[in-house]
Amino acid sequence: MKMIDKKKNKDFELEEFFQAAKEISPAPSDVLRDKILESSKHEFKKLEAYSIRQNQNLWWKNLYSKYGNFYLITGYGAIASICIFIGFSYPDLSSVILPMDKQINEAEIIFADPIIDLSILNLEE
Protein backbone atom coordinates (compact mmCIF):
# COMPACT_ATOMS: atom_id res chain seq x y z
CA MET A 1 0.00 0.00 0.00
CA LYS A 2 2.83 2.26 0.90
CA MET A 3 4.49 1.48 -2.46
CA ILE A 4 1.29 2.28 -4.38
CA ASP A 5 0.99 5.62 -2.62
CA LYS A 6 4.58 6.39 -3.41
CA LYS A 7 4.04 5.54 -7.11
CA LYS A 8 0.89 7.67 -7.28
CA ASN A 9 2.75 10.54 -5.77
CA LYS A 10 5.55 10.19 -8.33
CA ASP A 11 3.13 10.26 -11.29
CA PHE A 12 1.30 13.17 -9.80
CA GLU A 13 4.52 15.17 -9.67
CA LEU A 14 5.32 14.38 -13.27
CA GLU A 15 1.80 15.33 -14.27
CA GLU A 16 2.40 18.74 -12.72
CA PHE A 17 5.39 19.22 -15.00
CA PHE A 18 3.39 18.26 -18.05
CA GLN A 19 0.65 20.60 -16.95
CA ALA A 20 3.14 23.43 -16.48
CA ALA A 21 4.55 22.84 -19.97
CA LYS A 22 1.04 22.92 -21.45
CA GLU A 23 0.22 26.13 -19.61
CA ILE A 24 3.23 28.03 -20.89
CA SER A 25 2.68 26.71 -24.41
CA PRO A 26 1.16 29.52 -26.51
CA ALA A 27 -1.65 28.97 -28.98
CA PRO A 28 -0.93 29.49 -32.68
CA SER A 29 -1.69 33.06 -33.66
CA ASP A 30 -4.25 34.28 -36.17
CA VAL A 31 -1.39 35.83 -38.11
CA LEU A 32 0.10 32.37 -38.57
CA ARG A 33 -3.28 31.05 -39.75
CA ASP A 34 -3.54 33.90 -42.25
CA LYS A 35 -0.04 33.20 -43.55
CA ILE A 36 -0.83 29.51 -44.00
CA LEU A 37 -4.06 30.28 -45.84
CA GLU A 38 -2.23 32.81 -47.98
CA SER A 39 0.33 30.16 -48.92
CA SER A 40 -2.51 27.75 -49.74
CA LYS A 41 -4.04 30.33 -52.10
CA HIS A 42 -0.68 30.97 -53.71
CA GLU A 43 -0.12 27.25 -54.24
CA PHE A 44 -3.67 26.90 -55.47
CA LYS A 45 -2.96 29.38 -58.27
CA LYS A 46 0.14 27.42 -59.21
CA LEU A 47 -1.94 24.28 -59.14
CA GLU A 48 -4.42 25.80 -61.61
CA ALA A 49 -1.59 26.76 -63.95
CA TYR A 50 -0.22 23.25 -63.55
CA SER A 51 -3.55 21.65 -64.45
CA ILE A 52 -3.81 23.87 -67.57
CA ARG A 53 -0.35 22.65 -68.59
CA GLN A 54 -1.44 19.09 -67.87
CA ASN A 55 -4.45 19.56 -70.17
CA GLN A 56 -2.19 20.87 -72.92
CA ASN A 57 0.04 17.85 -72.49
CA LEU A 58 -3.05 15.69 -72.69
CA TRP A 59 -3.92 17.28 -76.07
CA TRP A 60 -0.49 16.38 -77.45
CA LYS A 61 -0.74 12.86 -76.03
CA ASN A 62 -4.09 12.39 -77.78
CA LEU A 63 -2.61 13.66 -81.03
CA TYR A 64 0.29 11.21 -80.80
CA SER A 65 -1.98 8.29 -80.00
CA LYS A 66 -4.15 9.09 -83.04
CA TYR A 67 -1.46 9.79 -85.63
CA GLY A 68 1.56 7.87 -84.43
CA ASN A 69 4.57 8.90 -82.45
CA PHE A 70 6.39 12.18 -82.12
CA TYR A 71 8.80 11.54 -85.03
CA LEU A 72 6.03 10.56 -87.41
CA ILE A 73 4.04 13.69 -86.66
CA THR A 74 7.16 15.80 -86.97
CA GLY A 75 7.76 14.14 -90.36
CA TYR A 76 4.24 14.96 -91.52
CA GLY A 77 4.74 18.50 -90.35
CA ALA A 78 8.07 18.82 -92.16
CA ILE A 79 6.64 17.48 -95.43
CA ALA A 80 3.65 19.81 -95.18
CA SER A 81 5.96 22.76 -94.52
CA ILE A 82 8.16 21.92 -97.50
CA CYS A 83 5.11 21.64 -99.78
CA ILE A 84 3.77 24.96 -98.61
CA PHE A 85 7.20 26.54 -99.06
CA ILE A 86 7.46 25.21 -102.61
CA GLY A 87 3.92 26.36 -103.30
CA PHE A 88 4.69 29.89 -102.28
CA SER A 89 8.15 29.99 -103.88
CA TYR A 90 6.96 28.78 -107.31
CA PRO A 91 3.42 29.98 -107.81
CA ASP A 92 3.71 29.20 -111.58
CA LEU A 93 4.97 25.68 -110.97
CA SER A 94 2.41 24.29 -113.44
CA SER A 95 4.09 26.18 -116.27
CA VAL A 96 7.33 24.41 -115.32
CA ILE A 97 5.78 20.95 -115.01
CA LEU A 98 3.68 20.98 -118.23
CA PRO A 99 6.60 21.52 -120.62
CA MET A 100 8.46 18.83 -118.70
CA ASP A 101 5.56 16.49 -119.34
CA LYS A 102 5.74 17.24 -123.04
CA GLN A 103 9.48 16.61 -123.09
CA ILE A 104 8.97 13.28 -121.36
CA ASN A 105 6.48 12.16 -124.04
CA GLU A 106 8.92 13.09 -126.77
CA ALA A 107 11.66 11.18 -125.05
CA GLU A 108 9.41 8.14 -124.83
CA ILE A 109 8.89 8.20 -128.59
CA ILE A 110 12.58 8.67 -129.30
CA PHE A 111 13.66 5.86 -127.01
CA ALA A 112 10.86 3.49 -127.94
CA ASP A 113 12.00 -0.07 -128.79
CA PRO A 114 12.40 -0.13 -132.60
CA ILE A 115 12.12 -3.97 -132.72
CA ILE A 116 8.54 -3.99 -131.57
CA ASP A 117 6.28 -3.72 -134.54
CA LEU A 118 3.60 -1.40 -133.50
CA SER A 119 1.32 -2.79 -136.20
CA ILE A 120 0.77 -5.99 -134.14
CA LEU A 121 -1.18 -3.89 -131.77
CA ASN A 122 -3.80 -3.62 -134.48
CA LEU A 123 -3.92 -7.39 -135.30
CA GLU A 124 -7.01 -8.04 -133.30
CA GLU A 125 -8.99 -5.53 -135.20
Partner 1 sequence: MQIEDLYELDDNDLLIAYANGIPKSAEILTDRFMPKIFSQAFHRVQNTADADEITQEAMFRLWRIAPNWKHGNAKVSTWLYKVVNNLCIDCLRQKKPASIDTVPDPIDERENATDLIINQSRAIALYNALSQLPDKQREAVSMRHLEGISNQEIAEKLELSISAVESLIARGKRKLSETLKSQKSNLGYEDD
Q: Is 74 in the site for partner 1 (CB under 8 A)?
A: no
Which of 22, 111, 116, 123 binds partner 1 (CB under 8 A)? It is 22
Judged by CB under 8 A, the residue of 2, 3, 4, 17 near partner 1 is 17
DSSP string, 26-55: PPPPHHHHHHHHHHHHHHHHHHHHHHHHHH
Handedness of CA 112, 117, 119, 123 (dihedral sign): negative
Q: How far apart are CA 61 and CA 73, in angstroms?
A: 12
Per CB under 8 A, 113 contacts partner 1: no
- Identified binder of partner 1 from the candidate list 5, 13, 101, 106, rule CB under 8 A: 13
**Residue 56 Cβ vs partner 1, minimum distance, rounded to whole Å:** 16
Give the phi and the psi of residue 25 in degrees, each rounded to 5. Answer: -75, 120
> What does the binding site for partner 1 look like in residue numbers (CB under 8 A)?
10-11, 13-18, 20-29, 32-33, 35-37, 39-41, 43-44, 47-48, 50-51
